């Protein structure tokens, strides 16, 4: 009985569990994954930004969509123009309900003319099937069968070039290719959740461990570091990447309309292709929102250091910043009233700044607007001066090179 209540473990558990000094486990989509290996996040975080960080992302929901109507299904499901996707391409996308509110987000990889892989944060089989009525398409969930590793950081390519049969120098940003590690076939996509140079590796679950071992051995010189999802959480905020049910409420989870967000409100204008042909779910609502303008927008908030320092100086303290990403709603104020809220805030070690992802109302979401963010100074609510800034906060030159 008890065993049924236990979380699943990923195909890398045999390795990750032995390396985890902190034994800081996190629940992710029914799996137990490493929150942090170390007692402090510094080492893992800096692996992402300076070296190569190896992150177990196997709990990502994975679906394979095949058949004559595979492209048609994804074209209908998402606001992306799937007709224009070539084989070898990966596209990030959100998808909406008919009211144009986000249900989930993930990536689509075109594996063949009639063959796609979709990743999602949430179980999506029902929604995919509901959208496939009347189509000639087969949808298979492969979440448990396919292991996924994310190798992120400026040295990630160098490490991969050592272990993969094929060189990855030619693999462009948001493209994927097939290769192998030893005799294990893998596919590699140049994607990630850190905003750095990085790759994600996809392989059969029962062949996962040799790939982990090969990477750890080959990456040793480069300081490859197993990295938990908490350090990744800081990096993704710096990269301006948001998370379901943290930075937006998935429409099916919302209790009230006001909790829902559209992709335009989330700043995904670039991933909403209203010029594409044909119906897609939420099209009319998104067209209307585009015409009328969004009431909300996800923006970056940068807290001004001197102002923060002053607030803490009043009680005789140096500024105290959380050392990890905090998923707490914090009011954003302007003109004496609340104009939004930060959904995730973090110290950015690479920028040396206190930053946050925030939902802000029109017209305060314009870049450059001066606002205040609520902070707690020695148990008291205070308002630190801050600015609305463009996302991402951090984008190294090597990310897309």
Partner 1 sequence: MASDVIIIGAGLNGLVAANYLAKAGKRVLVLERRAVAGGQAVTEAFGSGFRLDVLHAGGQLRPDIVSDLGLDVPASRSEPLISVLPGGGQLRLTADSDDRTLASIGSVSKRDAERWPGFVAFMSEASGFLDAAYRTPMPRLPNVSFSEGLPLAKLAMNLRQLGPRDMFRVIRALPMSALELTEEWFESDAVRAAIGAVAVHGATLGPMSAGTGYTLMHNWLNRGGLGHRRVEGGVGRIADALVAALKARGGEVRLSADVKRIILDDQTVRGVRLANGEEIAASTVMSAADPRHTLLTLVGAPELPPEFVWAAQSIKMRGSVAKVHLLTDGNHGLPAGTLIVAPSVRYVERAYDAAKYGQVSQQPYLEITADGAVVSLHYQFAPYALRERDWGQERAVLERSAVDTAAAAFPQLRSSIREIKSLTPLDLERTYGLTEGDLNHGQLILDQMFFMRPMPGWSTHKTPIDGLFLCGSGVHGGGGISGAAGRNAAKVVLKA
* Torsion sign across C-alpha atoms 320, 325, 331, 333: positive
Question: Token pair of 277, please?
Answer: 């042909």
C-beta contacts of 254-263 below 8 A and 24+ residues apart: 254/101, 260/99, 260/101, 260/102, 261/101, 261/102, 261/296, 261/298, 261/359, 262/96, 262/100, 262/101, 262/102, 262/286, 262/289, 262/294, 263/79, 263/94, 263/96, 263/100, 263/102
Specify the stretch interacting with partner 1 by CB under 8 A; choose among 1-9, 78-86, 129-137, 310-318: 129-137
Under the binding rule (CB under 8 A), the answer on residue 13 touching partner 1 is no
Under the binding rule (CB under 8 A), the answer on residue 256 touching partner 1 is no
Under the binding rule (CB under 8 A), the answer on residue 284 touching partner 1 is yes
Under the binding rule (CB under 8 A), the answer on residue 258 touching partner 1 is no
Of 83, 98, 220, 328, the one binding partner 1 by CB under 8 A:
98
Under the binding rule (CB under 8 A), the answer on residue 133 touching partner 1 is yes
Under the binding rule (CB under 8 A), the answer on residue 317 touching partner 1 is no
Specify the stretch interacting with partner 1 by CB under 8 A; choose among 1-9, 182-190, 280-288, 326-334: 280-288
- Smallest Cα–Cα separation from 95: which of 273, 259, 278? 273
Of 15, 62, 283, 297, the one binding partner 1 by CB under 8 A:
283
How many residues in the shown chain lie near partner 1 by CB under 8 A? 15
Under the binding rule (CB under 8 A), the answer on residue 49 touching partner 1 is no
Rank residues 94 and 228 by Cβ distance to partner 1 and give the closer one. Answer: 94
Specify the stretch interacting with partner 1 by CB under 8 A; choose among 12-20, 68-76, 176-184, 228-236: 68-76
Under the binding rule (CB under 8 A), the answer on residue 253 touching partner 1 is no
Under the binding rule (CB under 8 A), the answer on residue 167 touching partner 1 is no
Under the binding rule (CB under 8 A), the answer on residue 279 touching partner 1 is yes
- Smallest Cα–Cα separation from 132: which of 116, 145, 156? 116
- Smallest Cα–Cα separation from 219: which of 266, 281, 161? 161
- Smallest Cα–Cα separation from 395: which of 350, 347, 343? 350
Under the binding rule (CB under 8 A), the answer on residue 397 touching partner 1 is no
**Per-residue x/- mask for partner 1, residues 175 to 194, rule CB under 8 A?**
--------------------
| Calpha distance 187→111 (Å, rounded) | 10
Q: What are the beta bridge partners of residue 205? A: none
CB of 288 to partner 1, least distance (A): 13
Rank residues 210 and 252 by Cβ distance to partner 1 and give the closer one. Answer: 252
Rank residues 70 and 159 by Cβ distance to partner 1 and give the closer one. Answer: 70
Max Cα-Cα span within the chain: 68
Under the binding rule (CB under 8 A), the answer on residue 135 touching partner 1 is yes
Under the binding rule (CB under 8 A), the answer on residue 130 touching partner 1 is yes
C-beta separation of 103 from 249 below 8 A: no
Angle value at C-alpha 269, between 134 and 197, nearest 5 degrees? 100
Residues contributing to the site for partner 1 (CB under 8 A):
69, 72, 76, 97-98, 127, 130-131, 133-135, 279, 281, 283-284
């Amino acid at each position: 009985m008890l065993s049924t209540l236990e979380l699943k473990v990923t195909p890398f558990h045999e390795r990750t569990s032995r390396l985890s000094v902190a034994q800081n486990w996190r629940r992710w989509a029914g799996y137990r994954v490493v929150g942090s290996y170390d007692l402090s996040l510094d080492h893992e975080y800096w692996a992402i930004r300076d070296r190569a960080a190896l992150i177990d992302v196997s709990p990502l929901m994975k679906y394979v969509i095949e058949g004559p109507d595979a492209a048609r299904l994804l074209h209908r499901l998402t606001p992306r123009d799937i007709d224009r996707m070539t084989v070898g391409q990966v596209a990030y996308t959100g998808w909406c309900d008919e009211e144009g509110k986000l249900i989930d987000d993930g990536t689509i990889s075109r594996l063949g003319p009639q063959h796609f892989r979709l990743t999602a944060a949430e179980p999506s089989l029902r929604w995919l099937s509901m959208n496939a009525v009347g189509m000639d398409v087969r949808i298979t969930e492969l979440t448990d069968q396919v292991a996924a590793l994310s190798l992120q950081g400026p040295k990630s390519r160098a490490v991969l070039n050592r272990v993969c049969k094929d060189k990855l120098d030619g693999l462009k940003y948001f493209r994927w290719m097939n290769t192998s590690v030893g005799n294990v076939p893998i596919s590699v996509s140049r994607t990630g959740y850190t905003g750095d140079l990085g790759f994600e590796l996809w392989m059969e679950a029962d062949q996962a461990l040799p790939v982990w071992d090969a990477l750890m051995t080959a990456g040793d010189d480069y300081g490859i570091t197993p990295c938990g999802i908490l350090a990744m959480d800081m990096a993704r905020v710096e990269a301006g990447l948001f998370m379901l049910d943290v930075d937006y409420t998935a429409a099916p989870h919302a209790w009230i309309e006001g909790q829902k967000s559209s992709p335009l409100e989330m700043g995904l204008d670039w991933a909403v292709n209203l010029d594409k042909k044909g119906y897609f779910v939420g099209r009319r609502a998104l067209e209307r929102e585009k015409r009328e303008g969004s009431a909300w927008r996800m923006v970056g908030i940068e807290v001004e250091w001197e102002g923060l320092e002053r607030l803490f100086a009043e009680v005789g303290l140096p500024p105290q910043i959380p050392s990890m990403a905090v998923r707490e709603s914090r009011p954003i104020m302007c003109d004496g009233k609340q104009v939004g809220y930060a959904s995730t805030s973090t110290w950015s070690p690479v920028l040396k700044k206190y930053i946050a992802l925030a939902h802000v109302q029109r017209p305060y979401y314009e870049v450059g607007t001066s606002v205040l963010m609520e902070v707690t100074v020695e148990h008291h609510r205070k308002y630190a001066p801050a600015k609305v800034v463009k996302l991402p906060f951090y984008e190294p030159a090597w990310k897309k090179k």
